[in-house]
Amino acid sequence: MVTQNWMQDAILYVYALSLLFYFSDFMNESRRLERTGTGLLVFVWLLQSCYLTESIIAYNQNNHVILYEYWLAFSWLLITISLVISRFFKINFFIFFINVIGFAVFALNLYTRQESESLAVWEATQELLYVHISLVLCAYAALTVGAVFSGMYLFLHNRLKEKRWSSIVRRLPSLDTLDQWTARAVIIGVPLLAMSLSIAVISLIVEGRLELLLDLKVISSFATLVAFFIYIYQRSTLKRPGLQLARLYMLSFALLLVNLFSNYYSSFH
């Protein structure tokens, strides 16, 4: 490929950024966020289209296809489908999920070594592990920040309910502000956690280590992600009050802690 690695890395980060904007739009219903996410996704689609065009030309010359091109075409097709659907239907959460898969496939494909020219099973390189770890650490950090805001919300709500005024209460932000900052932490943390988990799962499938999908770490990761999606559903669709949401967030964060410490009992972490 004539494109330098830094350009491919840039596409990966732009792809991830577009998912963050799509998820933000789902949480806040912002037309501006949706347009930004779509614009970034179109940019990724255009660059991937250039790669595929170059691959088609190379195929006509060499009469063979390598695994990189195979999965690149699959990722490109997922983006194409999501853009077509977003043009005619407003199903942003579906677009987010389908592109989480596309992102994982593209990342896994980008950070692999494939010396053979056949469609053989291939393994992830060390760089892919760095991407996975970076995403999950950023997700943990963002969701921890959200837990602090939720804890402050519960503390302040309790003090206001009991009418126990103090200098600490007066120095805290309002309940609405704490609730909004918790939501912003979720907007960042949950997509990063979903992308990290998708990369890990697809890596295990490609490497043929399906038995590890039943590992405690993988199961607890899925449980944590489901818990945060329940929080999102309760917040965005059912419009639950802030107190219930803060309690649900702390429960989800408790599962995140279980997931974090499950490393000690995991067979491959």
CA–CA gap between residue 56 and residue 48 (Å, rounded): 12
pLDDT value for 58: 66
Same domain, 243 and 136: yes
Domain boundary, last residue among 68, 86, 110: 110
Domain span holding position 93: 5-110
The separation between CA 241 and the C-alpha centre of its own chain, rounded to angstroms, equals 26
Same domain, 137 and 74: no
> Within a domain: residue 115?
no
Same domain, 17 and 100: yes
Q: For the segment 46-105, what is each residue's pLDDT rounded down to a tens digit? A: 988 887 787 677 655 555 445 666 777 888 888 998 888 888 776 666 788 788 888 888
pTM comes to 0.73
Residues in the chain: 269
Residue 230 pLDDT level (bands cut at 50, 70, 90)? very high
pLDDT value for 124: 45
As for how many domains the chain has, the answer is 2
Same domain, 260 and 130: yes
Domain boundary, last residue among 77, 110, 143: 110
Same domain, 98 and 135: no
Q: What share of the chain is helix, strand, coil (3-state, %, to 5)?
A: 80, 0, 15
Residue 114 pLDDT level (bands cut at 50, 70, 90)? very low
Same domain, 67 and 147: no
pLDDT of 191 strictly over 80: yes
Same domain, 131 and 104: no
The one-letter amino acid at 35: R
Domain boundary, last residue among 47, 77, 110: 110
Same domain, 244 and 137: yes
